[in-house]
Amino acid sequence: MLKKLTSTTAAAALSLSMVAGGVQAGDTVDAVMDQGYVQCGVNTSLPGFASSASGSWEGLDVDVCRAVAAAMFGDSEAVQYTPLTAAQRFTALQSGEIDVLSRVTTWTLTRDTSLGLNFAGVNYYDGQGFLVRKDLGVTSATQLDGAAVCVEPGTTTELNLADYFRANDMEFEPVVIENTTEVTSAFFSGRCDVYTTDRGGLASARMVSAENPDDYVVLPEVISKEPLGPVVRHGDDEWLDIVKWSLVAMIEAEEYGITSENVDDMLDSTNPGIQRFLGVTPGMGEALGLEEDWAYNIIKQVGNYGEAYDRNVTEKLGLDRGLNALWTDGGLMYAYPVR
């Protein structure tokens, strides 16, 4: 549960000047505490990352929201979800409609600067690809000259698509559709030859929306780097810290071998790093303005990063860890030191 802010912290927060839709930067932690939950912006429907098809929200991005709620309130269910299209997502965050955006959003220079936003880390490393019907007879993206391509607006995908075709001296016909569900439906109904988005999204569409997934293939080319992660507003460092370290805690727990099943036993560990991490030795919670069991609550209720990946991405989409493996296993997932 969140500790009461000190007057010094509150004064520092109130001194920040950026205002977005009536929400003053620096006020987010107090606002979230007052409302009693985290308002999280997620995808309208992208199984494996954010979907409510089962009756409750689940997915890798959803688990980031749940981790923040567990850290703040000791309750991973203290979250309300706002489904957002790609075009809506940044305005919703800038205006204060949501507290955090966790919606397969790529960390780029312009988004990190000109939009007044901060990325709190990366929870999924991806790259853009192309999905086609096998009977199209295409084995490489370099054979897509003249193809009709389904794509969502307001995404890095649009720019990457145009750059790739221009660089390869090819033309294409864009079929631009805003909603994720609608753009996948358009592709599978035959309105376009190709669907392009991050490869994780293509795997989700193929497994969930195709009548026969074996009729479709993701082409081998990966045409971009897409580091995806949660986003908050600029100028609210205390809230940024909580979101960032909630994500780091999930990765750190996997590095330590701490799971939702053994975390209680790990409270008795003699490893000083684990003692600090789980709050047995105090200090890390205080540094964040949280209770000392903030990380324990995340792992107990949400699980470590590997647990979240396995139940959401591996089990639902059949994707192995790849770049999202721990750095010790050849991947890019690396926890900053919790000390």
> Can you tell me the distance from the alpha carbon of 266 to that of 213, in angstroms, rounded to the nearest whole number?
42
Q: Would you state the pLDDT for residue 13?
A: 33
Strand, helix or coil for residue 305: helix
Q: Reduced to 3 DSSP states, what percent helix, strand and coil does the chain have, rounded to the nearest 5?
A: 45, 20, 40
Q: Would you state the pLDDT for residue 118?
A: 97
Selection from 290, 289, 291, 295 nearest residue 338 by Cα: 295
Q: Would you state the pLDDT for residue 53?
A: 86
DSSP state of 215: G
> Can you tell me the distance from the alpha carbon of 46 to that of 338, in angstroms, rounded to the nearest whole number?
32
Residues β-bridged to residue 40: 81, 100
Domain 7-125+228-329 has CATH 3.40.190.10: yes
C-alpha 187 chain-centroid distance: 24
Tell me the pLDDT of the chain (339 aa) as tens digits: 544 333 333 333 333 333 334 455 468 999 999 999 999 999 999 999 999 988 999 999 999 999 999 999 999 999 999 999 999 999 999 999 999 999 999 999 999 999 999 999 999 999 999 999 999 999 999 999 999 999 999 899 999 999 999 999 999 999 999 888 899 999 999 999 999 999 999 999 999 899 999 999 999 999 999 999 999 999 999 999 999 999 999 999 999 999 999 999 999 999 999 999 999 999 999 999 999 999 999 999 999 999 999 999 999 999 999 999 999 999 999 999 999
Q: Can you spell out the DSSP letters for 125-141?
A: EE-EEEEEEGGG---SG
Residues 6+ apart with CB under 8 A from 222: 127, 128, 129, 199
Question: What would be the CATH architecture of the domain defined by 128-224?
Answer: 3-Layer(aba) Sandwich (3.40)
Please say whether the dihedral angle defined by the alpha carbons of residues 139, 140, 144 and 150, taken in this order, is positive or negative: positive
CATH 3.40.190.10 in the chain is located at 7-125+228-329, 128-224
Q: Can you spell out the DSSP letters for 52-84?
A: -TTSS-BSHHHHHHHHHHHHHHS-TT-EEEEEE
